């Protein structure tokens, strides 16, 4: 070995040492979500395309300009984005969102799904749409997007998703409040789990924030067309205060008119679309039925009240 070659080798080794020390120091920080990314050819023929991108906390606004708030409402920690491609040039984009809790991941999954996609067997629940799929498992929400609807793309998307699914150990549980939705006639894909007003506004607008500071909520649509919303405020006292506030808004709003009939325990209004809205308190929960058919709104509230009645 000449002196020059020896010097270059020494420099190379020193470089390796410095790089290793830098990585070990934490200054070169790779997020924990990298562990969930499928390696090259973990799915035959599919390799990583480019470097992963990672965003934490408020940085999500950089990645999802105009769409980050709903993740924050549920409780967001971090996301990793990695593209994959196959030799034919097909692409799949993988996003793994780490939420604060399994309930947040489930809620975000229900927010994003259409309810009309194909149910597939991934994690705690998955829905495959024409060119993308969402599934949740533990505190993770996984979104895979193909950039066309070709069979190879969808096969790749499912295979990459399968590897991610196998890497996530904890399953997580569906929030208990979802079980308060009466099962009979419930369209399962319609279930949504909410943590705040933004999610609620995307389902049904009350045109106010008054009285809508619930802790969690669930929504189900029934085969007869009725919608049931269950808002849980944690305690009966909190629910009672919120209900007074919301009722005052509904009574004074030009978006709603007073309804008639039913029982005295059920408050009724008619919204601007001609839908009947029936509302009743039950312990810590507010039960809200919405339907174009007057009796259907009332009936779903009545059915739910039998299920949810418990001391607040």
Partner 1 sequence: MAMKIGRREFFKKSAQAGLALAVGRELAAAGGKPAGAGLAAKAVVVGVGIGADYEKAALKAVELLGGIKKFVPKNARVALLPNVQSRHPGSFTKPEVLRAVIKLCKKAGAKEINCLSWQPVKQWEDTGLKAVIDAEGVGLKLFEKDEALFKAVPVPGGLALTGARILADLYDHDLLINMPITKDHAGNKFTGTMKNLMGLNSPVNNRTFHRPNWKTDPNDVAHLEQSIVDLNKAVKPALNVVDATEFIVTNGPFGPGQLLRPEKVVAGTDRVAVDAYCAGLWGLEPKDIVQIKRASEQGLGEINLDKVVVREENV
Q: Which residues bind partner 1 (CB under 8 A)?
A: 64-67, 69-70, 93, 112, 114, 116, 129-132, 143, 145, 147, 196-198, 201-202, 207-209
Instruction: Give the residue with the Cβ less far from partner 1, 130 or 248.
Output: 130
Query: Least separation, in Å, of the C-beta of 224 and partner 1?
Result: 21
Instruction: Give the residue with the Cβ less far from partner 1, 61 or 307.
Output: 61
Q: How far is CA 212 from CA 138, 246, 284, 308, in A?
A: 28, 7, 13, 19
Instruction: Give the residue with the Cβ less far from partner 1, 242 or 304.
Output: 242
Query: Least separation, in Å, of the C-beta of 203 and partner 1?
Result: 11
Instruction: Give the residue with the Cβ less far from partner 1, 112 or 137.
Output: 112
Instruction: Give the residue with the Cβ less far from partner 1, 112 or 285.
Output: 112
Query: Least separation, in Å, of the C-beta of 122 and partner 1?
Result: 16
Query: Least separation, in Å, of the C-beta of 130 and partner 1?
Result: 7
Residue 18 phi/psi, 5° resolution?
-65, -45
Dihedral angle, C-alpha 152, 156, 159, 161, nearest 10 °: -140
Burial readout 258-277 (b: 16 or more C-beta within 10 A, e: otherwise) = ebeebeeebbbbbbeeebbb
Instruction: Give the residue with the Cβ less far from partner 1, 44 or 65.
Output: 65
Which strands form 76-85's sheet, in the order they lie side by side? 47-56, 76-85, 91-99, 140-146, 132-137, 125-128, 118-120
Give residue for tokens 């023929």: 45
Reported as type and span, the H/E element at residue 25 is helix 3-25
Query: Least separation, in Å, of the C-beta of 163 and partner 1?
Result: 20
In contact, 142 and 136? CB cutoff 8 Å? yes
Instruction: Give the residue with the Cβ less far from partner 1, 180 or 194.
Output: 194
d(CA 243, CA 279): 9
d(CA 233, CA 212): 9
Query: Least separation, in Å, of the C-beta of 214 and partner 1?
Result: 12
Q: 34: closest CA among 99, 78, 85, 100? A: 78
Query: Least separation, in Å, of the C-beta of 197 and partner 1?
Result: 4
């Amino acid at each position: 070995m000449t002196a020059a070659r020896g010097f270059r080798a020494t420099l190379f080794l020193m470089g390796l040492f410095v790089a290793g020390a830098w990585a070990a120091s934490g200054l070169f920080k790779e997020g924990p979500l990298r562990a969930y990314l499928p390696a090259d050819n973990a799915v035959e023929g599919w390799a990583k395309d480019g470097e992963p991108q990672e965003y934490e906390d408020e940085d999500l606004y950089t990645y999802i300009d105009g769409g980050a708030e709903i993740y924050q409402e549920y409780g967001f920690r971090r996301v990793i984005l990695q593209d994959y491609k196959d030799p034919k040039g097909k692409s799949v984009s993988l996003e793994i969102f780490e939420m604060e809790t399994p309930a947040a991941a489930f809620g975000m999954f229900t927010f994003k799904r259409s309810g009309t996609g194909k149910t597939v067997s991934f994690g705690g629940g998955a829905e495959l749409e024409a060119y993308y799929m969402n599934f949740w498992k533990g505190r993770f929400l996984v979104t895979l997007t193909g950039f066309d609807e070709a069979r190879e793309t969808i096969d790749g998307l499912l295979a990459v998703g399968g590897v991610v699914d196998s890497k996530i150990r904890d399953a997580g549980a569906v929030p208990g409040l979802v079980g308060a939705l009466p099962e009979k006639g419930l369209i399962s894909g319609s279930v949504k789990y909410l943590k705040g007003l933004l999610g609620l506004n995307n389902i049904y607008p009350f045109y106010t924030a008054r009285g809508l500071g619930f802790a969690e909520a669930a929504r189900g649509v029934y085969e007869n067309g009725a919608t049931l919303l269950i808002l849980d405020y944690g305690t009966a006292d909190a629910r009672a205060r919120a209900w007074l506030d919301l009722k005052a808004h509904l009574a004074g709003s030009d978006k709603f008119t007073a309804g008639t009939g039913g029982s005295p325990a059920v408050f009724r209004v008619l919204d601007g679309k001609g839908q009947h809205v029936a509302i009743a308190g039950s312990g810590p929960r507010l039960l809200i039925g919405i339907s174009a058919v007057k009796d259907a709104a009332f009936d779903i509230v009545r059915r739910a009240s039998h299920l949810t009645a418990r001391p607040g």
